[in-house]
Structure 1
């Protein structure tokens, strides 16, 4: 079987959930004898080998802007893939919904992972929000198979767009701490900081978490890993808070995976404010790395963590953040109890090998429709 993957930044470029999915899935598909071609943003790769780890790579240009870059790249990728001899085109991101018209014209079989409710994200106000809703609707009409990464998101699409989907979650790789000294470059010590990991965008609620932490009585630090790759007032305002309170530490992007892993491993509590996605890869990573987790109370986080089973929840207001931070801050035994049990939540559903098997089954079903 031959699979083309489009809609991400490429391989092995790991930046967000989609790139993690592409990397983990494509490598395992190749190991199982499936030919995989990943379409990559040419501008992001200084070296452009035709193949890495058995994964075939195609580099196409785009107009590198915040809004249009991925859209234009996916357009050219879809055309290129339709002229190739692949059995299934696998698309990630519902923003690429309209390009299903192209694959329909060429008679190519397709599957799309639509991710979360992009139309609700604060960064896509007005026209952007309407486009994402329209694109998500088109995804349900133009692609042969819809994939959602959580049961809750499946229900959303079924309710809004009357289209059933297969649920295939993201995976997580369990890891133990190997070198706690790596966090010393930031002047940190084990168990003496809360941790946030993610882009500084409104739907990750970093401003709410920082405000709640600063209002708490905790003497620990709050470490914020992440940024945005463009000038942005929201991110600028959050980072400016460090000027008035030395408990805040902004690391920016941490590109070394070993350093990032140790930041997770040695945190007192990981704070998760992601709001509109399905199964969040960052949350799964925190579980795989054995963190005590305090997460925003959403249906998606509850699906992964259970109800206070593998983590605690806060409501979307600063008072709730303050309360839960202080509960954990004053009860190290409770925090440690969550660290002990958290990995038990990583059932087979969140195992990359299981995820790969589910995708292979899905691709086979889609490809057989072509031959029947």
Structure 2
């Protein structure tokens, strides 16, 4: 804490690509949390991956920025960046170091060199994700185990994830969810320009990676009797065999839009789809699902403990099994149940309780930072 302001607490946030580079879930989290914390007597330092920022101001929107070099190699990128960031932060005046990536799990000893308090957000089941086969999977499992031993406080963003850490590692964690965006009406003309009509397409939003199961969803859709279209938003920022294989299904019925960067267009796609299809398998509280809930979509989600928690065991959405034929059967059924689909659209917003409110979440994190600093 500062001598001039004894109530001020200083934190470092490490593990995202950086601020204000809003690319994915981590970056959105950093933006939403940091911009709120600095209004609550918290000094925020965010560690950015240097190569992503051609311009490097020391402060942006009241947030202190540190630029850390790393390698562009997909496997080593996070490990090198987290290692260097932790070493730097350990020798600064921050009170608490907050890490967002399990790649830094085994590095929790570094801040102990200077007595810094540490917190880590466990995120998803990284060691089960298909992209981390072999050594990568072992490293992330070791990272999760190490985090339970080396960090002062563990944060899970879902109760289901909290149970995983208790069962696997006998570790105590605190649950603070990820936040949902506010609803903002977006007109149908945005999708009309894409050749789409309201209620005449299913929607997928997410990276084209195996654990999001876009391939299974595409196959299930094509095996169904649906006369609607399937629209897929998302891609991967690198050449990838899995993504290329899925894109071979592109047709008049299966439409790949890639990244949709215009917020109004993306919100319009959510708000006017017939059903949002959610195949994410290994995460906790999923940002794309929260956007679907915020935009009042009828949701058909893969049946996982995480998705069940978010949709309150089916109160706010429907589920399908990890099988393309089972999905096709569900899609055939819901197309005969338009009243049921409309009912889910009307009530899904009620699932966004204070648990998913960014202002509440920022207050929860601030309380945890202060509690840690006083220990």
Task: Check whether TM > 0.5.
Answer: yes
User: Aligned to 2:273, what secondary structure does the other structure show?
Assistant: coil
* Number of residue pairs the alignment of both structures matches: 367
**1:21 corresponding residue in structure 2:** 29
Name 1:220's counterpart in structure 2: 228
| Pair 1:6-2:11 in alignment | no
- Is 1:124 aligned to residue 128 of structure 2? no
Q: Tell me the residue number matched to 1:58.
A: 66
For 2:13 and 2:153, the matched residues in 1 are separated by 14
Hey, what's the Cα distance between the residues in 1 that align with 2:281 and 2:273?
A: 22
**CA separation in 2, counterparts of 1:77 and 1:273?**
33
Whole-angstrom distance in 1 between the partners of 2:331 and 2:23: 29
Aligned-residue offset at 1:66: 1.1
Residues 1-372 of structure 1: matches in 2 within 5 Å? 1-242=9-250, 245-369=251-375
* Alpha-carbon distance, 1:18 to partner: 1.3
**In structure 1, distance between residues paired with 2:39 and 2:335:** 45
The offset of 1:271, in angstroms, is: 0.4
Q: Is the 8 A contact 1:213 1:222 kept in 2?
A: yes
Does the CA contact (< 8 Å) of 2:90 and 2:113 recur in 1? Answer: no
Secondary structure (helix, strand or coil) at the match of 2:243 reads: helix
Q: In the aligned structure 2, how far is the partner of 1:130 from the partner of 1:11? A: 30
**Which structure features the higher share of helix residues?**
1
SS at match of 2:83: helix
Indicate the SS of the match to 1:251: strand
SS of alignment partner, residue 37 of structure 1: strand
**Quick check: 1:200–1:227 contact (8 Å CA) kept in 2?**
yes
Mapped to 2, the partners of 1:273 and 1:122 lie a distance apart of 14
Gaps of 5+ in 1: none
Contact 2:12 2:44 in 1 (8 A): yes
TM-score by length of structure 2 reads 0.96
Secondary structure of the 1:307 match is helix
Q: Is 1:208–1:318's contact at 8 Å kept on the other side of the alignment?
A: yes
Q: Could you tell me how far apart the structure 1 residues matched to 2:316 and 2:154 are?
A: 29
Determine the C-alpha separation between the residues in 1 that align with 2:362 and 2:164.
24
CA distance in 2, matches of 1:48, 1:101: 29
Deviation at 1:73, TM superposition (A): 1.0
